[in-house]
Amino acid sequence: MKILITGGAGFIGSAVIRHIIENTEDVAINVDKLTYAGNLESLTSVANNSRYIFEKADICDAEAMKRIFEEYQPDVIMHLAAESHVDRSIDGPAAFIETNIIGTYNLLEVTRAYWNALSGDKKNGFRFHHISTDEVYGDLEDTFDLFTENTSYEPSSPYSASKASSDHLVRAWLRTYGLPTIVTNCSNNYGPYHFPEKLIPLMILNALDGKALPVYGDGMQIRDWLFVEDHARALYKVAIEGEVGETYNIGGHNEKANIDVVKTICSLLEELVPNKPQNVNQYLDLITYVTDRPGHDVRYAIDASKIERELGWKPKETFESGLRKTVEWYLANKQWWSRVLDGSYTRERLGISNEEIS
């Protein structure tokens, strides 16, 4: 099969592509604009594979998308391209509206025209898989509540509101035009190749550098953590085996308060990197509580029983095993994250030399 992945150079998208190339015989067509969070170095292990194709393109560019669809004739679309950082959406929501809403609309229209021109098995087998987030549901007040596929939408941030909008568009294109769509909503991902502004890699790298570990509010915000390679397996399974018109929630069964996540990272670093920066007695001393984020959701928790029951998927990693693998990966891959932190990958992506920067 030919699978077109939008946002394939991002954190989750690159994990999906690595999974496809390493575990299937399918072709992966990576369509990515290469914004700040798109990093082709996350795909080095598969870059030379004949079944991997990269196209630098913006999903908001209809002509570019039409050309790509005509050239590659995909069987499945996995739509991951999105602006995804809550803090950035609060500071500058316009990019989130443009990419997550307008971009999804544009992709749906290009896909609809392409799908309408198909026939036979090619048309019957076609799928548009839209990858979303549990943040569209808002937060949970009761300790025992879980997000299900029928939970009402109550987004809290510009990011989650833009993703909620894109979810509604996808479902409307199914209802109105018959486009064969599937939606998944996932919990917080973590793992290798995670952009360093996110909680877990930020804590790991700050601790290694002897910097403060900033924790919002009291740190008691609860998230359900999902190892990104488990998520990639789930997404592929949904794209290939999921039922058109269905929604599948994907979670890790790992509810943890943010402060406990940070403390667990500190404990792992005490074991794995006992030689600390000179200013550090123990990593826990670096924890610093900062003013809470506006509109910060208190608790997310996914009921992932449907995807387990209907498609046979469940996570392989516990939070403890996945977090250990993640910390070990960052310790072993300094070249990847140091090039992100110093901007080297960005300069190369934009075709700017170090001399021009200096």
Structure tokens at 262: 């940070």
Residue 134 falls in the annotated catalytic set: yes
* Residue in the block written with tokens 């954190």: 11
For residue 213, the surrounding DSSP H or E stretch is strand 213-216
H or E stretch covering 203 = helix 199-208
User: Residue 273 and residue 23: Cα distance in Å, rounded?
Assistant: 33
Q: List the catalytic residue out of 135, 139, 167, 297.
A: 135
List 41, 134, 224, 230, catalytic entry: 134
Are the CB atoms for 241 and 312 separated by under 8 Å?
no
Q: Please provide the distance, in angstroms rounded to a whole number, between the alpha carbons at the two ends of the chain.
A: 46
3-state secondary structure of 288: strand
Q: Which residue has the tokens 């079944």?
A: 51
Residue tagged active-site, from 159, 190, 300, 330:
159
159 is catalytic: yes
Going through 80-174 in order, the beta strands assigned E by DSSP cover 127-133
Known catalytic residues are 134-135, 159
